Structure 1
C-alpha cells in the first residue's frame, strides 16, 4: 500500500443482491491472505446488517460499525458522506492496523453511487434473480462502478435468466471495465474479486 490509510472499498447494490454475504466472504478471504479488515454498514434506521456481520464469527465485532442514514441511502454515500467519513476515521484510529475498510451501502436502486471523497474503489452488486435485463437499464451503479459483481449465478436456470447475454450486455454498457460472477453463498468467484482488488488498489 502507498499510504498509512486503509484502502476504503465501497459495496453498493439493490436490496437482496447479496451485499452483506459478499462482505462476509471478503472478510474471510482477506483474512486468509493476512490482511486486517474493518467494516462499516449503512442502513436506514437499524444496525441489522452490522449485527449480522458481528455475529458471523469472521471478525472481531468491535471492528464492525453501523451508520444509520435516516433517509435515502444515497445521501450518506454520495451527496454528503461526512457521517461515513467520520466513522471511517474513527474506526481506523481505534484499529490502526486496518488495511482494508469495507463500506457497505444500504440497499438501494440502480442509481446508487459512491462519492470519491469516501472510497478509493467501489463495487456494485446485482443478482440474476433481479432479471437479466438489469445491464440494459444502464443504471449509474452498473455503468460507473469500478467493479460490477453479478451474484447468485447459481439461480440463473431457476429464474429463466440468460447469464451469457446478461454478461455480454453488461460488458457493452461498461466499456470493458471489470465484471466478476459470484455465488456469495458458496464463495464462488470471491478469489477473482480479491485478485482484482489486490491489483487495483492494494498493491499500487
Structure 2
C-alpha cells in the first residue's frame, strides 16, 4: 500500500487513491507523531485524545523498541478505552518500523479498524528517535514532528528530515525556555527558514487553562476535514 501524499496549497492533507477499505468504507485518517526521546510525543498524543475523544472515533498505536511503556502510560491515564490503544515492539531502531518495514504498524492500524471501527482517526506514535525520523507514506497520511526547547534552541537550525519535511512541527515545553536558556524567537525564525510555509506550533502542555494542545487540535481538525471532503 502506498499513498500519493503531497502538500495541498492550503496545508491540508491530500486524499489518496486508497482512502477506502476493501469493503468500500472510508478508512481512518492516519497521523504519525515522531521526534527525539523525551520531546513530549506521548504527552501530546494523550492531550489530543482528551481533546478529541468526545467528537471522534479514534485509536492509538505506539512504538517502543523493547517495551510497551508508552501504551501503558496512555492506559494509566485512561485517555481512551483500552481496546483502542495498541503497542508495537519494534526490536530495532524506531524509524525502521515506521519507514523501512512498516508491516507491524500497518497490521496494527488495520486490526484496530477491524476490531473497534469504523474509526475517524488513528494516531501512530513513533519510538523516540533522532532528527532523521520520518514515516512511510504507506503508513500515515500526515506527520507531526515534536521537538522541545530543553533539547536546545539550535534544533530547528540543524534541520533534518523530521524538522524540515513534517506536515506540522511542534516545539514543545515552551514553559521551560526561561530555565534552559532557549530563545523562542530564534527557534521560530530558524524553523521558518527551514520549513518555508509549512506550519509550526509552539506549545506548553502545562498551560494553566489546560488548553495547551489547542493549536495542534485545530490542525488535526483541518486534516480531518480535507480527508472527509
TM-score (norm 1): 0.95
Deviation per residue, 1:103-162 (Å, 9 max, x gap): 000000011000010001100000000000001111110001000000000000000000
2:34 corresponds to which residue?
A: 12
Cα deviation for residue 189 of structure 1 reads 3.7
Is the contact made by 2:147 and 2:172 (CA closer than 8 Å) also made in structure 1? yes
**Separation in 1 of the partners of 2:212 and 2:73?**
22
Is the contact made by 2:36 and 2:130 (CA closer than 8 Å) also made in structure 1? yes
Is the contact made by 1:50 and 1:64 (CA closer than 8 Å) also made in structure 2? yes
Q: Which runs of 5+ in 1 are unaligned?
A: none
Is the contact made by 1:55 and 1:61 (CA closer than 8 Å) also made in structure 2? no
1:43 corresponds to which residue?
A: 64
Cα deviation for residue 190 of structure 1 reads 1.3
**Separation in 2 of the partners of 1:97 and 1:77?**
23
Q: SS where residue 122 of structure 1 aligns? A: strand
Is the contact made by 1:182 and 1:188 (CA closer than 8 Å) also made in structure 2? no
Paired residues, number: 202
1:136 aligns with 2:157: yes
Is the contact made by 2:35 and 2:128 (CA closer than 8 Å) also made in structure 1? yes
Instruction: Indicate the RMSD between aligned Cα atoms, in angstroms.
Output: 1.4
Cα deviation for residue 188 of structure 1 reads 4.4
**Separation in 2 of the partners of 1:68 and 1:190?**
27
Q: SS where residue 119 of structure 2 aligns? A: coil
Q: SS where residue 92 of structure 2 aligns? A: coil
* Correspondence list, 1:56-75, <5 A: 56-75=77-96
Q: Which deviates further from its counterpart, 85-94 or 190-199? A: 190-199
**Separation in 2 of the partners of 1:82 and 1:58?**
26
Query: Which of 144, 148, 168 does residue 147 from structure 1 map onto?
Result: 168
**Separation in 1 of the partners of 2:196 and 2:135?**
19
Cα deviation for residue 78 of structure 1 reads 0.4
**Separation in 2 of the partners of 1:73 and 1:188?**
30
TM-score (norm 2): 0.85
Q: SS where residue 203 of structure 1 aligns? A: helix
1:120 aligns with 2:141: yes
Q: Which runs of 5+ in 2 are unaligned?
A: 1-14, 21-25
**Separation in 2 of the partners of 1:41 and 1:185?**
23
**Separation in 2 of the partners of 1:125 and 1:77?**
15
